[in-house]
Amino acid sequence: MNYWLVVGSPQNWRTAFKHGDIWGLKATQRHLWESLAENDKLIFYATAPVPGIIGYGIARTKFKQDKPLWPDEIKQRKVIWPLRFEFDVEFCLAPDKWVSEKVTSRDLWPRAGFQLLDQNLGKKLLSDLRKTGYAVLARQPSLIAEIPAEFVGIAGETEGAPISHEQLKEKLIAIGNLQNYIAEPEYQFDLGKLDVVWRRVVNSVPTYVFEIQVGGDIYHALAKLKHAFDLWNSNIFLVAPQEARGKAQSLLAGSFHEINSRLKFIVLEQVEELYKRKKNYKDFERELGI
């Protein structure tokens, strides 16, 4: 696990927190973006008029973006920071305390963007931050706060009956909603339509992409998933019967070897099982008032 110093203006940090905890790097920083791994520690540094450390979090999914998000991008009508990643906030000062309670260090030499920190310095900075007050930052309300009623139970679904392509799409959309993603079917892109995608915010590319093959052409499904990965660095999933795994593995060892280590295979029945577990967990949270 590495520790990274993430440097940005207070305005850009507010935008990042507002839009689902997303940060971005310039194309010239690709080597740093590629070195960033899931679960790496991130230390949030706000520049003048703060200037200092305001919080920390954990790196999650990396993706590429072609839509403006931050104020400078919107003003210039172009993407300045296309190499993006999601993160979880573990600790953050309230915005009105950024100036008065920031953490500083003589060992820290922040420069624009992104830099790898010494492990001992990273641990010390996190320890110093924990001594200050904690705040849960206000988030932009989720566009889909509840599971749509039509996804609570699929009409005509019976125990032991084969699940259809359409039912699988509906289940994946419901699972995405449970996880506070914007989940949608039939996402149009240049190779046609993707069965289901999950996005973090409206002006974002798909973070998760699912192609469902109850039967039919696995080659074409893998081609679309590979293209989604090439375009956006999306997490890619093939949902298919267990008996299709061998065919998929053969293609991944050959024509689609570039995505062999990135693609996840989900057996059809696992979608239903995941939905049930997620929904039960969410129902239990509501019961407890959490």
Strand, coil or helix: 43: strand
Q: What is the pLDDT of residue 148?
A: 43
Determine the Cα–Cα distance for residues 34 and 251; give it in Å rounded to an integer: 26
Tens-digit pLDDT profile for residues 207-248? 999 999 997 789 999 999 999 999 999 999 999 999 999 999
DSSP per residue over 175-188, as a string? HHHHTT-EEEEEEE
The per-residue b/e assignment along 251-282, b for 16 or more CB within 10 angstroms, e otherwise, is bbeeebeebeeebeebebeebeeebeebbeee
Strand, coil or helix: 83: strand
DSSP 130: H
Q: What is the pLDDT of residue 163?
A: 83
In the chain, what percentage of residues exceed pLDDT 90?
63
Q: What is the pLDDT of residue 247?
A: 94
Least Cα distance to 137 among 58, 56, 48, 74 occurs for: 56
Least Cα distance to 258 among 210, 211, 216, 225 occurs for: 225
State yes or no: pLDDT of 204 exceeds 90: no
Of the chain, the end-to-end C-alpha distance in Å amounts to: 30
Around 207, how many Cα atoms within 13 Å sit in the side-chain half-sphere? 22
Determine the Cα–Cα distance for residues 233 and 236; give it in Å rounded to an integer: 9
Adjacency order of strands within the sheet including 41-46: 22-25, 83-92, 52-64, 41-46, 3-8, 113-117
Contact between 199 and 205 (Cβ < 8 Å):
yes
Determine the Cα–Cα distance for residues 187 and 183; give it in Å rounded to an integer: 10
Please name each of the domains of the chain with its CATH number: 3-130 (3.10.590.10), 149-288 (3.40.1350)
Determine the Cα–Cα distance for residues 142 and 151; give it in Å rounded to an integer: 18
Of 109-123, 162-176, 259-273, the poorest mean pLDDT is in 109-123
Q: What is the pTM of this model?
A: 0.68
Mean pLDDT across the chain? 86
